Amino acid sequence: MSKERARLRAAREAERERQQAVRARRVARRDRRRALVRRLTPRRRRTGRLLARRSRGERAGIVVLTLAVLALIWTLVPDPALRVLLIVLLLLVLPAIVVIALDRRT
């Protein structure tokens, strides 16, 4: 009777060890897969900040040059309607100018 119980206990322990080994392989495979995905996916940049892709100096340059062009338009253009049209045009074209001038993907 005790030999039978010992044999059954040994079988249960062997089955439990086999299941633990299977689970350990699954966990290791999942961890390797997650590490691979983490390595291959690009890191996200911080979002929600104004012009987050530009450095502080670049942002300051954009603002200063825009204000300088606005001041030039305001002082050199005598017609108020043309003045407003040029200011609106500058503000519409400014993002394209910034991308062309400061884009780092070359």
pLDDT tens for each residue of 20-36: 999 999 999 999 999 98
Is residue 46 pLDDT above 90, yes or no? no
Q: What is the pLDDT of residue 51?
A: 45
Q: Kindly state the percentage of the chain with pLDDT values over 90.
A: 58
Token pair listed for 99: 């991308």
Of the two residues 49 and 43, the one the predictor is more confident about is 43
How far CA 31 is from CA of 1, 17, 35, 36, in Å, comes to: 45, 21, 6, 9
The pLDDT of 72-89, averaged and rounded, is: 95
Q: What is the pLDDT of residue 72?
A: 96
The pLDDT of 38-65, averaged and rounded, is: 76
How far CA 99 is from CA of 54, 61, 67, 103, in Å, comes to: 10, 13, 18, 5
Dihedral over Cα of 61, 63, 66, 70: its sign: negative
